[in-house]
Structure 1
C-alpha cells in the first residue's frame, strides 16, 4: 500500500475552528494554543479517513444494477463514470463527511448543520487512482464466498462485477460505497490508528471504561431486565469515536499480541531502547506489564503492573504496541500530543522516531504544543539538503539517513482564533514557528528584566 499523500480537507464552523484548509502529507503537524480546535480537527480527520459512508447512490449505476440482478454479472468503465459524474461524486463525498460528524463526536445533541467538512479530491486525482491502483473487492455473506465481487486490474479502467448472492438489499447504494471507498483509497486492510491525549488513563482503566462491559454490568445488577434498553446501551458508546475505538483496541490486545508487524519492528525496537528503557508484555488476559531494563552490576528488575510505572512509560505503550504488532506501509498513525509526559530530550527522540516511521510509508499526523518536537523536525528537514559537511554533522549529532525529511513530505498548520493557517516550511530553517518563538522571547525578556532590575536595586542598596 502507498502512503496517503495529497488528501486535502476544508473545514468550516467545527467547534472552535472558523475555517481553514489543510493537506495531509507523509508527516503533518497541527500546532497552536489550547482551545483552538486541533483535537476537533484530528477527530474529524480520523473519522473521514477511517470509514466514510456515501449516504446516497451514484448516478449512472441503474443499468449496471439491472444487469447484475438479471445476468449475475456486469462490466463498466470507471474512468467514464468519473468523467461523467464527477460533480455528483464530489457532493456524495462531502455529504459522507457531514454524516460522520455526529457519530465521530458522539454528540447527537450538537448541531452540525452549519459545519462544513469536505474531502476535496479532484477529478484528476480520481482518474490517477483508477489508472494506478487495483480494485479487488470481495463481499462474503455467511458461507457465501464472493457474494459480490468487483475486479479491476492496475492500469485498466474497466470494472468487472459478479453477483452470486440471491438477494443483496440496496445494491445500488452498496456499489456506490465500494466505488467511493476505492477512489478515496479507504482499503479494508489499512489501519487508521489514533493515539489520544487521554491515553494514560485509558491504558489503566480500559476494561472499566468499555461501554459495552459497563452496560452489561449495569443491567445484570438490576432486578428486572429491559432487553430493549440493554441492546440500546450496548450498541451506543459513551465516548467520542476515536476514544471508543481506542478502548476497544485495548480490550483486544490479548489477540493482537500474537501478530507481528515486521515492517516497523526496528522502529518499535528503537522506541524501546531510546525512550522506554525496558519491555512491555501483554498476557493472555490482556493485562499490560512492564519490566525495566537490567542495569549492569545490579540485580534484574522485577516485572511490574503498568500502573506502577512512570507517566512516560504509560504514555508510550500504545505507540510501541502499534509499531511492533500492526503497523505497515499505507497505514495512518495519528497522535494527539506525542510529547505527552516526556522530558525535552525525549521529545526530540520521539520526533526523530516518527520521522523514520513516516519514511517507511506510514502517514503520520500529530497535534503538538512542543517547541522541542517541532525544532527537531526542522533539523531533519535542514539535513535533507545536500551539503559537503552533512555526513560529518549527522555523525557528530547522531542522526541517520532514515530520519531525514524531504521538504515536500512535511506539512504544518497553526490553529488560532481565525481558523487553520498554513505555516511556512523551507529547507533553510524548516517550519517557521512564530508562536513558539514569541513565547520564548517573552520569557527571556521577562526573566532578564526581573533579574537586572533586582540586581540594579541590590547594587544601589550596597552603595548606600
Structure 2
C-alpha cells in the first residue's frame, strides 16, 4: 500500500505542488526552502490516527507545527484554500478548506476532511496494511541510557529521535524472529553469518565503524535500555566514548533493515555526523531497502548519500527507471519550486540544475583559478 502522491495547496512553502512519490523519494535543496514540508504533511497524517474523528492534527507525536495560521502559505494568506491531499493506490483523501466559510469554521490546529471518503477507510489503511518509521533530524546522540517505550506505533517502533532503538535491538537478539525471508533481499550484508536481521544491522554498522560490535541491554525493573560498544581492541565501552556518528546512524540502519515489504520509512538527514564513506554506504543501503519493496522517503543535504544511492542503482540488476527520484527544492522569485530528477537505471540523472550539489565543483574551480566562483 504505497503513497502515490502528496498534493499541497497553500501549505507552508507551497502555493500549489504535487509530489508523485516513487519507492525511493529523495528531497534535497538549500536550507529553509521547504524540503521537509512534504514530510511534515505525511507525519501529520500518520500522527492523526483517526480513532475519534476524521481530522488531521497538525500537532502530535511526530511533528508539532503550531496553528493553522502558521501553516497557511504566508505569501498567499488571502486565498481561502488550504489543502493537504494524500493519494494511495486506491484512495485519495483531502483535508483543509476550500471556501471562506470553511476557513472561518476551521479549528486552530486541526484540518477537516473535505472529500467524501469515510475516515474508517483511513483507519483501515493505517492499521492493517503497513507500518511506518519516522526518524527526525533531531535524533539522540550517544547517551548512557534511554527510558523504555510506554506506547508505540508498532512493536519495532524506534521513536522519532531513535530513542527506542536499543530496546528494539535487545529484543531482536532475545527473540530472533526478525529474519530475511527473501533470499534475494540485498539488505542482508555479504558478511552476515545468518539471516537474522540483527546480524546484518551490525555488519552494516561496521561499514561505518569497522570492527565495532554492539551489546544492547534492558533492565525492565529500572525502565532503562543501554548499549555497550566493543571496539577492535576488545574492551567494552559506553556509547558516549565512541562518537556521535555511530549513535546517530544506528537508528537509521535499524529502520532500513527492519522494514518489511509494504512498510514506509521516512528519515531526515540520515547523514548526520557521518564521514563521507559512511554516508555513501548509507546511501547504498537506502536504495537496497527500496529494492526490497519498502517505500523510503529521505531528506538530505549530502551528495555522498545521493552518490551512494546512484552507485547502488548502477550495480543493481533489479533497478527500474521509476524506482527512485530526486525532488530538488529551491526558492525562485519568492516562490518555492521543485525540479524532479528521476534516477536512471545506470545511476544517471537527466539534468544537473544550478545549485544542485555543485558546491564542490565550484570550490575546486575557485581553487584552481584563484578567483571566487559562486
TM-score (norm 2): 0.68
| Alignment match, 2:215 | 281
Q: Distance in 2 between matches of 1:247 and 1:348?
A: 21
Q: Distance in 2 between matches of 1:430 and 1:439?
A: 19
| Alignment match, 1:230 | none
| Alignment match, 1:351 | 283
Three-state SS of the structure 2 residue aligned to 1:340 is: coil
Long gaps (5+) in structure 2: 73-80, 93-116, 152-156, 181-186, 188-196
| Alignment match, 1:101 | 58
| Alignment match, 2:119 | 177
Deviation string for 1:267-312 (max 9, x for gaps)?
A: 4244133224322222123433232343xxxxx4221111111221
Q: Distance in 2 between matches of 1:187 and 1:30?
A: 27
Deviation string for 1:146-195 (max 9, x for gaps)?
A: xxxxxxxxxxxxxxxxxxxxxxxxxxxxx94332334xx32347321112
| Change over 3 Å in CA distance of 1:5–1:110 after alignment to 2 | closer
| Contact residue 21 and residue 421 of structure 1 kept, 8 A | no
| Change over 3 Å in CA distance of 1:276–1:18 after alignment to 2 | farther
| Contact residue 10 and residue 118 of structure 1 kept, 8 A | yes
Deviation at 1:33, TM superposition (A): 0.6
Q: Distance in 2 between matches of 1:372 and 1:351?
A: 7
| Alignment match, 1:187 | 127
Aligned residues: 304
RMSD over equivalenced CA pairs, Å = 3.7
| Alignment match, 1:430 | 348
| Contact residue 165 and residue 254 of structure 2 kept, 8 A | no
Deviation at 1:423, TM superposition (A): 2.1
| Contact residue 20 and residue 419 of structure 1 kept, 8 A | no
| Change over 3 Å in CA distance of 1:416–1:379 after alignment to 2 | same
Q: Distance in 2 between matches of 1:54 and 1:422?
A: 37
Q: Within 5 A, what are the aligned runs for 1:408-447?
A: 408-417=322-331, 418-425=335-342, 426-427=344-345, 430-431=348-349, 432-434=351-353, 435-447=355-367
Three-state SS of the structure 1 residue aligned to 2:366 is: helix
| Alignment match, 1:204 | 143
Q: Distance in 2 between matches of 1:22 and 1:37?
A: 13
Question: Which protein shows a greater Rg?
Answer: 1
Q: Distance in 1 between matches of 2:35 and 2:169?
A: 32
Three-state SS of the structure 2 residue aligned to 1:37 is: coil
| Contact residue 23 and residue 411 of structure 1 kept, 8 A | no
2:84 aligned with 1:117: yes
Larger helix fraction of residues: 1
| Change over 3 Å in CA distance of 1:451–1:9 after alignment to 2 | closer
2:229 aligned with 1:291: yes
Three-state SS of the structure 1 residue aligned to 2:370 is: helix
| Change over 3 Å in CA distance of 1:32–1:107 after alignment to 2 | closer
2:6 aligned with 1:9: yes
TM-score (norm 1): 0.56
Long gaps (5+) in structure 1: 57-94, 128-174, 213-234, 236-241, 295-299, 385-400, 453-464
Q: Distance in 1 between matches of 2:215 and 2:15?
A: 44
